[in-house]
């Protein structure tokens, strides 16, 4: 019986050593994931009014759209709710960045619940954005539709 346990332990150790060795590849050889599908969907979520967070989110969307693996295959929606409404305020500095993203096909959506709860006049928001009933509802629906959700 001891003999079988020793043989089994030696076999397990050998298998483990091979797995470790397989993971020790040349880092320069790694190129990342391959975009094998014809189409990808990504929902970017912004619920912060922090300028650094908003700029980072807009930059991340641009980076994804320019990724050569995803070029021409990526459909993006930016959903803003809660403090994220700041991105769509006419008083913000994001108008041109948003228009540039929209020109690349990005859907710009604002949670209507946030507008109602905060008593924000839609005239204070950019006229080129769209509205959804609920930001959280949009996230839930998109998630179940298979969209990647990105919350930078």
Contact indicator for 69, 32 with CB cutoff of 8 Å: yes
Domain ranges of the chain: 38-150
Query: Which fold is adopted by the domain 38-150?
Result: Hypothetical Protein Ychn; Chain: A, (3.40.1260)
pLDDT at 1: 62
Kindly tell me the number of DSSP H helices and DSSP E strands found in the chain: 5, 5
- pLDDT of 89-140, one tens digit each? 999 999 999 999 999 999 999 999 999 999 999 999 999 999 999 999 999 9
Backbone dihedral angles phi then psi of residue 76, each to the nearest 5 degrees: -125, 140
Q: What is the pTM of this model?
A: 0.81
The pLDDT, as a whole number, for residue 31 is: 85
Predicted confidence (pLDDT) per residue in 32-62, tens digit: 999 999 999 999 999 999 999 999 999 999 9
């Amino acid at each position: 019986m001891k003999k079988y346990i020793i043989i089994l332990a030696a076999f397990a150790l050998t298998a483990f050593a091979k797995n470790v060795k397989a993971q020790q590849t040349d880092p320069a050889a790694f190129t990342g994931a391959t975009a094998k599908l014809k189409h990808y969907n990504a929902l970017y979520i912004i619920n912060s009014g922090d300028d650094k967070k908003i700029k980072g989110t807009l930059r991340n969307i641009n980076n994804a759209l320019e990724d050569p693996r995803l070029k021409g295959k990526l459909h993006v929606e930016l959903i803003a709710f809660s403090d994220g409404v700041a991105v769509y305020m006419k008083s913000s500095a994001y108008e041109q960045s948003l228009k540039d993203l929209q020109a690349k096909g990005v859907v710009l959506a604002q949670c209507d619940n946030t507008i109602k709860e905060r008593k924000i006049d839609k005239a204070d928001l950019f006229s080129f954005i769209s509205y959804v009933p609920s930001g959280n509802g949009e996230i839930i629906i998109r998630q179940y539709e298979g969209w990647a959700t990105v919350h930078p």
